[in-house]
Structure 1
Amino acid sequence: MHYSSITALSADIAARRISPVEVTEHMLARIDALEPTLNAYVSVTAERALAQARTAEAEIAAGKHRGPLHGVPLSYKDILFSDFARTTAGTRIHKDFVPGYTATCIARLEAAGAVTLGKVKTTEQAYATHHPDVTPPANPWSAGHWSGSSSSGSGVSVAAGLAFASLGSDTGGSIRFPSAVNGVTGLKPTWGRVSRHGAFELAASLDHIGPLARSAGDAGIVLQAMAGADVNDPTALLAPVPDYAAQIGASVAGLRIGIDRAYIAEGVDPANVAAIEEAARVLQSLGAVLVDVTVEGWKQAAIDWLPLCAPETAAAHDATFPARRSDYGENLAALIDMAESYTTRDVARAHQTRLTFSAQLAAMFHQVDLLLIPATIWRVPDLAHWADYAEGDNSEFIRFTGPFDMSGSPTLTMPGGFDQNGLPLAVQLVAPHLQEGRLVRAGSAFQQVTDWHLHHPDLG
């Protein structure tokens, strides 16, 4: 049951073959059994979840079915405000913070009937590493390997069958990294597609909120329930929200898939390159057309991500840094300190880089419908060597992620195989702004003829 897709589970709940209470009780028991080793959750809202499940069961019995999320248990990254549980943001400063309101994205999912299992762990304030006070979630495929940042708990909770989907955020790769290393599907929407009202900021103009799920179709279902304009967030886009679920099962015949052979291969682990080549072959076999393209400006966009991220992060922490510096972890403090090293000219140049890269990407999307790239340059890092990756060239580390936060482009990260050690490999699709439906269409077509997303870690 715990590895069911939302589509299958929803059908069983709607047909009353299984009750939301049974599902929720099962998930809470599984969390209770596996949390001591996986450490994915900050708080489990068991009583509230069961009350929501009982309400869902009664509504469905009375003929009031709210849609595909009705009675489906989810988890939420702990940067998203909740008036029913702590929102710690993975910090010491906010370890006891209970907001006075709930984030728009969570409120909308609950309004769609979703059951809230609890809040899952994040790296400190959604940056690179966990605060020293926090035990990081364990990768369910291998406890000796990285579980991703910053939506680590989101990735682990979905991969381990501790939630049917979760919400994460992405500023430089934080939906895509946990999706890649935990073997789940992550959808980073267009910037502004999902309201950020009630979310702790890392860097506001780069922050995206999106789902991590079992499949592209499931991710589309979650996105549809929470996307759209919000009077509390003036940056939330006013564009209407299409029916993403209608794209599940749609043909990709004639869809133009762009590949930049140099971009995907130079300095990239051969296993990742092979996964991309195989994904291209699969999509082509389904009728998609492969088109050679050149992704202009990605390198400078990756380099200039930091001169934008660091000052925006510093601004978000004005109230507590440096006044409470001793409560900060080393890496987040270093990022905020770094903001002082950038001049106004550096930030202005980075902004120009962002505009240029976004324009070049938009021009490329006149030639193709989607871009196929890896999610990472490396295979899942082992913890013993994680520091080597984290302290390397940041622009290389985020070469397939940061540029598309700069442009605000929607992306879909999917399982694309396994390496020789049995650890997940991932592939990524990038789309033009507001073409999340196209990502769901291509992703679900890919997942209908591959089974990488149906493999699960051996947890019992």
Structure 2
Amino acid sequence: MTIDTAFLSVGELAAGYRSGAFTPLDTCRQAQDRLARLEPDLNAFIEPMTTEVLDQAKRLTEELRQGRDRGPLHGIPVAIKDIIDVADVRTTFATKAVPPRHAARDAECVARLRAAGAILFGKTNLLEFAAGVAHPAFGQTNNPHDPSRTAGGSSGGSAAAVAAGIVPLALGTDTGGSVRAPAAYCGVIGFKPSFAALSLDGVYPLSPSLDHLGLFARSSADASIALSVLNPGVAPARPSPKPLRLGIVGNQWNHRAVQADVRAALDAARLSLERAGVALTEIQLPDPAEMATALLDILMPEAAVIHRTTMAKRADGFAPGTRDLLETGMTVPATRYIEAIEKQRRWFGEFESVMADLDAVIAPTVPFTAPDTDPALSTEGDDEIISLTHANLTGAPSVSLPLRIQGAMPVGLMATAARNRDSDLLSICETIEGILSHTA
């Protein structure tokens, strides 16, 4: 009997490989069949790397047969956002402003995955240059739970690939929430590590002061395994005190933009945590509108500098929305940029003080379930980035945890910890997942 590997965890796949129940080649063939069935509706992949995937799977299956075991990611398929270089595979950036670039070498994160025996399972769709708009030539990635809705951005292709059961892990990037928002919309784990915890070598930049490499998984345990490969030097998790001490970000949790279905799911999760003995304390973070403004006052001019040569030569190759963002970035006064950087530094120090007596803080990842199309960036403080921006500005590790409500679209619960406590945060998220799974 053929075992369906579509939604198995990294650990379950690894155990199946080593017991002989199935092989990496079996898993990849099933994944490619699933992709072929779902992809016209999802639009999750730009380059599925079909031949390369099977070649990798055959080689890694044979290695296990011969007794060579590269570790927990041996034979595990991982999708790669198409802004991250994979050697000898084109990187399109989901744009027509520049031609596809065939990378001469792997990005460092990809090289680490390859050395650990992971199977590079295609390049995923994204918003153009990860800048917040889907280019018409590439189109929107749609949500596996309801293809009439967006998977989110900018890393929507990677989120959809994990949520649809095509791969158990995928890489994305997060500059203002581009891993965590799609994770919330698609009902998967979205992990943005601490600033500079994962190398961005070989990852095309958007805003160097805010960019983070991130990843998607189906559980915090799987994300921990991937983190240990991508950064072997990350500090191991410390035992958490009992009970957990969590801060509820009041001006995000109770924000006017949080819609009724999201609020109901969040409040149910809060009740479950309280009943499990988790110590909850309400805290406040800087005003969401002020944080959104500061983030964009950093992001837009930095992005404009990166793309200024291409804008001068091929402005018509950008999607209109991307072009507008870059043109706006060129007009941001230096004083506004410097003021935003100063706020960023101040908020980092303030958050460290807040976290002195807490293990993590929790908030809605986004205030609504997946909309029809990806929301535009805004400084109004009432859109999808009300809770997302703080972790990018402070460089704190942050995870979107899925709250799955029967018959409804997924809701994201976001947990954020002090900077460089990445393993601790994932351990805390495992605890939260366990509590919520027993009360679902």
- After TM superposition, the score normalised by the length of structure 2 is 0.93
Moved more, 332-341 or 91-100: 91-100
Structure 2 residue 325 is the aligned partner of structure 1 residue 335: yes
Q: Distance in 1 between matches of 2:381 and 2:287?
A: 12
Q: Distance in 2 between matches of 1:12 and 1:447?
A: 24
For residue 409 of structure 2, what is the aligned residue in structure 1?
423
Structure 1 150/212 Cα, relative in aligned 2: closer, same or farther at 3 Å? Answer: same
Contact 1:251/1:445 (CA < 8 Å) preserved in 2? Answer: no
Contact 2:251/2:287 (CA < 8 Å) preserved in 1? Answer: no
For residue 35 of structure 1, what is the aligned residue in structure 2?
39
Q: Distance in 1 between matches of 2:172 and 2:241?
A: 28
Offset of residue 88 of structure 1: 0.6
Structure 2 residue 248 is the aligned partner of structure 1 residue 259: yes
Alignment of 1:20-419 (within 5 A): 20-227=24-231, 240-243=233-236, 253-267=242-256, 268-296=258-286, 298-383=288-373, 389-390=375-376, 393-397=379-383, 398-418=385-405
Offset of residue 270 of structure 1: 2.8
Contact 1:102/1:198 (CA < 8 Å) preserved in 2? Answer: yes
For residue 7 of structure 1, what is the aligned residue in structure 2?
11
C-alpha distance after superposition, 1:94-138 (max 9, x if no partner): 442111111111110111110111101010000112111112222
Alignment partner of 2:367: what SS?
coil
Offset of residue 450 of structure 1: 3.5
Structure 2 residue 409 is the aligned partner of structure 1 residue 433: no
Offset of residue 200 of structure 1: 0.9
Contact 1:276/1:372 (CA < 8 Å) preserved in 2? Answer: no
Contact 1:297/1:360 (CA < 8 Å) preserved in 2? Answer: no
Alignment partner of 2:312: what SS?
coil
Contact 1:304/1:350 (CA < 8 Å) preserved in 2? Answer: yes
Offset of residue 213 of structure 1: 0.8
1:445 pairs with one of 423, 428, 431: 431
Offset of residue 276 of structure 1: 2.5
Offset of residue 156 of structure 1: 0.7
For residue 236 of structure 1, what is the aligned residue in structure 2?
none
Q: Partner letter of residue 437 of structure 1?
A: S
Aligned residue pairs, count: 433
Offset of residue 393 of structure 1: 4.3
Q: Distance in 2 between matches of 1:266 and 1:156?
A: 27
Q: What is the CA RMSD across the aligned residues, in angstroms?
A: 2.0
Q: Distance in 2 between matches of 1:220 and 1:393?
A: 33
C-alpha distance after superposition, 1:24-79 (max 9, x if no partner): 11111211222222211111112222222222222222322111110111101000
Q: Distance in 1 between matches of 2:60 and 2:378?
A: 49
C-alpha distance after superposition, 1:264-302 (max 9, x if no partner): 112121322332232233333444211222224554222
Q: Partner letter of residue 342 of structure 1?
A: V
Q: Distance in 2 between matches of 1:262 and 1:205?
A: 25
Contact 2:80/2:172 (CA < 8 Å) preserved in 1? Answer: yes
Q: Distance in 2 between matches of 1:433 and 1:14?
A: 36
Offset of residue 251 of structure 1: 6.5
For residue 23 of structure 2, what is the aligned residue in structure 1?
19
Offset of residue 392 of structure 1: 5.4
Q: Partner letter of residue 388 of structure 2?
A: T
Q: Distance in 2 between matches of 1:115 and 1:142?
A: 28
Structure 1 residue ranges without an equivalent (≥5): 229-239, 455-460
Offset of residue 261 of structure 1: 2.6
Moved more, 31-40 or 65-74: 31-40
Structure 2 residue ranges without an equivalent (≥5): none
Structure 1 153/16 Cα, relative in aligned 2: closer, same or farther at 3 Å? Answer: same
Offset of residue 306 of structure 1: 0.8
Alignment partner of 1:366: what SS?
helix
Q: Partner letter of residue 266 of structure 2?
A: I
Offset of residue 243 of structure 1: 4.2
Q: Distance in 2 between matches of 1:342 and 1:319?
A: 18
Offset of residue 381 of structure 1: 1.4
Moved more, 432-441 or 270-279: 270-279
- After TM superposition, the score normalised by the length of structure 1 is 0.89
The percent identity for this pair of structures is 28
Structure 1 391/101 Cα, relative in aligned 2: closer, same or farther at 3 Å? Answer: closer
Contact 2:289/2:380 (CA < 8 Å) preserved in 1? Answer: no
Alignment partner of 1:210: what SS?
strand
Structure 1 8/126 Cα, relative in aligned 2: closer, same or farther at 3 Å? Answer: same
Q: Distance in 2 between matches of 1:14 and 1:447?
A: 27
Q: Distance in 2 between matches of 1:448 and 1:86?
A: 40
Alignment partner of 2:190: what SS?
strand
Q: Distance in 2 between matches of 1:175 and 1:363?
A: 26
Alignment partner of 1:300: what SS?
helix
Offset of residue 155 of structure 1: 0.8
Q: Distance in 1 between matches of 2:97 and 2:339?
A: 33
For residue 457 of structure 1, what is the aligned residue in structure 2?
none
